[in-house]
Structure 1
Amino acid sequence: ITRVMTHEVALSYVFRKQKLEKTSRFGTFDELIAERGYVRSDQELPCRLAGRTSLKKQMELGTVVKSILCPSYVGYIDPARLPVLRAAKKVPLTGEQVALQKIIAAKQPISKKNLMFQSPYSYKVTTETISEMTHMSLIYQDGDSAYCLTEASDLTQEEALKQIAKWHFKDFGLFSAERLAQFLNCRMAVTRKILSELEDEGYISKGFLLEGDPSLYWMLTEDVGSKVRPFTGMFLLNTQDNLSLYLRDYIKKECGSSVSAIFSGTKIIGHFKGKVTPTAAKMDEFEGSDLARKYLEDTARIFGVSLSKGCDQADDDWEASEFYSKTNPGL
């Protein structure tokens, strides 16, 4: 396609796909999960959901379960989507994994304590095996943190990855091959094959879509001819949000590192290390305008939390992500 977008127009397009405008946010969590299918953390909710809830509450209701998503972060997903994740991560099982799979299948839902007791292996081996099976989406945790077995799917690994790619395109609208490979956690050759097949199906279209950028991008074919209204909203983007991963290069360029950012329209007007969510607010090294600081303070006040100095290492999971990507290169 011959369409070319400025950086501002491209960001407006992505932000609108993400439902970040106040007037277009999801009215209920059920609506959000029906369309997106997943939430990575509580940090993703305030800028997309008009109401108030928590993932702990939604876990207890059974709306979502806890698993490893794609990209590979702990997250919360519609149980109906789990078999696709399992198929996408399919690898031959070890003897230990087969043994624990049989125990879980017979006793599910089973607490970690009972699983450790019934396992024929040592504490260390059992713990490592549970972690491996969780990363494979072979098992998940319910609202009581008990382990259950993910149902198998008839999809091949490639078909499952293609389905996940469709989910991401519906969620973001626009991808380069490099960024999609990161979101699928698979090799570039596999990613390009998936892009080619989705293009052949008419689901996406490619072109040099970003002004001044020599990279090829793919976008939803249904949006190719649509006019993009400028995004004028304001929102806080925490680091444990997949949009932060999607915009990682841009945020690093503008802010010097991967940090939480306050956007006004498509511009970053402030950034800091830490997070502001309905459950906690931590801030260090704030830089930005008075408007950005006021927005940050007002957001914390609305959530009923007070801003405190200092942030935990766990608040920023980029290093863990890089380590996982290097040690688990995918397909």
Structure 2
Amino acid sequence: MGDGRGMVPDVVEALLAGGPHQAVADVVRARLRMVPEGARALATAEASPKDVQARAQLTAAVAHLLASDEAFAQYLATTELGRPADPSTVQLRTGPSTVQLRTGAESSPTGPSTVQLRVGPAEARARALAARRSSAGIVVALVLVLIAALVALGIHLGSRPLLKPGGPDLAHAAQPLRDPALVQGVLPDARAMPSGWQVRSGPESGSGTDGKAPCLLPDSCDQQLAYATERFGAAEIQTVEFTVVTFASPEAAGRAFGTTLDRTAGEDSGAVTLPRIGDQSAVRTRGATSAVALVRVGGVLLLVHDDGPGAAVTAPWLTVFARLLAERAQQAQDGRTPDAAARTTSS
């Protein structure tokens, strides 16, 4: 089930009919909405769940998603959608002269399987005597039998990723952002910016260390996945440049935060106070007209470069824009389409 094709009908049913797999369906729904074709197919099918053509289009969209994202398909295979409705169970029952090991679900068509070990009277008496001498020994023995049974059944404790409560976040996720198009989506558009700010250049994006994205991890450039950049301006004298760089892991992004901060010209003069944003944040100022905010959110490094009169003295927009970019980066890593807008004191 590497490409997830066997799960497609169940995934479509969960998307349209709800039921016990709703939490997993919400994750798939969020991933579909990240792609225009998937979002359209989902919206059409949800509006007309009994329409054969709409259902066929949604089925094709789900099949394409699972075939193109093997890691996500493997994740779904570990959820309820990829497992039998009644997972296997192991029960131990003991009697005076028997030990029963029961496997399988009570509700399965054939019922649970039972393996019964019978011991003779002598052994039973010996066991009873041992129990009286040390109940701890019996507990240890039962635990060992249980572990052996679990191993024999191929049940690996803790191997299944768990859904985080409260939405489409999942433990496997904060998936690294490798697609330059997704990374570009982290950048704000004109609708997300405050009134008066217009695009001056960009957006531009690329993979790895192409174009305007030098390697920020000289000893492991392969950990740098994609970048996107864009510049806005206001009143012809104020500009802000947004840069997003993604990495294969939060650890790699954390190292890139440190190297980038060391390379960024300027000083931490205290003239600009930047509140804690994301997992890491810092600010550098150059004179009275330039300030740079660095923020890390998971596996994403963000830079906000503010230029203009008084930029490094009062930084009227630096915190607003740093928070905006951080929120959109978090949305993208959560599998959602970034739609956060700038929040100012007047809005």
Q: TM-score range by the shorter chain?
A: under 0.3
Q: Which has the larger radius of gyration?
A: 2
TM-score by length of 1: 0.25
TM-score normalised according to structure 2 size: 0.25
RCO greater where, 1 or 2, for CA within 8 Å and sep 6 or more? 1
**More helix per residue:** 1
